[in-house]
Structure 1
Amino acid sequence: MSAKFGVSCGGDLWSDDDIIAVEDLGFDSFWTGEHIVYHRPILEAITVMTRAATLTKRIKVGPATQIMSLRNPTINAKQLVSLDVMSKGRVLLTVGVGGDYPREFHACQVDIKKRGQIVQESIEIAKKYWTGERFDYDGKIFQLKDVDMLPKPVTPGGPPIWVSGRQDAPMKRAATIADGWNPYMYSAERSGWSFNRVKEFAEEAGRELPKDYTFANFIYISMFDDEKEARDWGVKELSYRYNQDFSELVDKYCAYGSNQKIIDYLAEYIKEGCNYLILAPIMPPDDRKAHLERLSQEILPELRKINPKVII
Structure 2
Amino acid sequence: MTLVLDTCLRIGIQTIHRRTEPATGPWLPRIDELVALVQNTDRLGFDSLWAGDHISFPVPILDPLLQLAQAAVVSRRLILGTSVLLLPLRHPTPVAKQVITLDHLTEGRFILGVGVGGEFPKEYAACDIPHNERGARLAEGVTVLRQFFSGEPVSHHGMFYGPFDDVPMRPPPRQAGGPPIWFAGRKEAALRRIGRLGDGYLAYVITPEMYRDALATIDRAAMQAGREAVPFGTGHLLFTRLDKTYEEALDRATETLSVRYAMDFRRAAQRYCALGPPEMVAQRIRDFHAAGVRHIVLDLLGPYEQKADQMEWFAREALPLLADLTAG
> What's the TM-score bracket when you normalise by the shorter of the two chains?
over 0.9
Residue 172 of structure 2 is aligned to residue 172 of structure 1: no
2:62 aligned partner: 43
Would you say the 8 A contact 2:16–2:34 is kept in 1? no
1:27 aligned partner: 46
How does 1:1-312 map onto structure 2 within 5 Å? 1-9=7-15, 12=18, 13=29, 14-143=33-162, 144-210=164-230, 212-306=231-325
Q: Deviations over 1:95-130 (max 9, x none)?
A: 101111011111111111111111101111111101
Q: Deviations over 1:225-261 (max 9, x none)?
A: 1322211001001111111101222111211111111
Give me the whole-angstrom Cα distance separating, in 1, the residues matched to 2:192 and 2:217.
Answer: 9
Would you say the 8 A contact 2:34–2:71 is kept in 1? no
Q: Deviations over 1:52-105 (max 9, x none)?
A: 111211111111111111111001110010011122111111110111101111
Would you say the 8 A contact 2:16–2:67 is kept in 1? no
Would you say the 8 A contact 1:11–1:33 is kept in 2? no
Give me the whole-angstrom Cα distance separating, in 2, the residues matched to 1:29 and 1:81.
Answer: 19
> Counterpart of 1:296 in structure 2: which amino acid?
A
Q: Deviations over 1:143-200 (max 9, x none)?
A: 2311121101111111110000111222122111221012231100110111111111
Report the 3-state secondary structure (helix = DSSP H, G, I; strand = E; otherwise coil) of the residue aligned with 1:277.
strand
Count of residue correspondences:
307
2:3 aligned partner: none
Would you say the 8 A contact 1:271–1:307 is kept in 2? no
Report the 3-state secondary structure (helix = DSSP H, G, I; strand = E; otherwise coil) of the residue aligned with 1:62.
strand
Give me the identity figure in percent. 29
Q: Deviations over 1:240-289 (max 9, x none)?
A: 11111012221112111111111111110001111111110113322322
Report the 3-state secondary structure (helix = DSSP H, G, I; strand = E; otherwise coil) of the residue aligned with 2:72.
helix
> Counterpart of 2:213 in structure 1: which amino acid?
W
Larger RCO (alpha carbons 8 Å, 6+ apart): 2
Give me the whole-angstrom Cα distance separating, in 2, the residues matched to 1:18 and 1:94.
Answer: 21
Report the 3-state secondary structure (helix = DSSP H, G, I; strand = E; otherwise coil) of the residue aligned with 1:6.
strand
Give me the whole-angstrom Cα distance separating, in 2, the residues matched to 1:230 and 1:184.
Answer: 19
> Counterpart of 1:195 in structure 2: which amino acid?
L
Report the 3-state secondary structure (helix = DSSP H, G, I; strand = E; otherwise coil) of the residue aligned with 1:222.
strand
> Counterpart of 1:6 in structure 2: which amino acid?
G
Shift of 1:297: 2.4
Shift of 1:301: 2.6
Q: TM-score, normalised by structure 1?
A: 0.94
Would you say the 8 A contact 2:116–2:138 is kept in 1? yes
Q: TM-score, normalised by structure 2?
A: 0.90
Give me the whole-angstrom Cα distance separating, in 2, the residues matched to 1:262 and 1:305.
Answer: 16
Superposition CA RMSD, Å: 1.6
Give me the whole-angstrom Cα distance separating, in 2, the residues matched to 1:253 and 1:70.
Answer: 27
Shift of 1:10: 6.6
Give me the whole-angstrom Cα distance separating, in 1, the residues matched to 2:318 and 2:72.
Answer: 25
Give me the whole-angstrom Cα distance separating, in 2, the residues matched to 1:259 and 1:236.
Answer: 20
> Counterpart of 1:263 in structure 2: which amino acid?
A
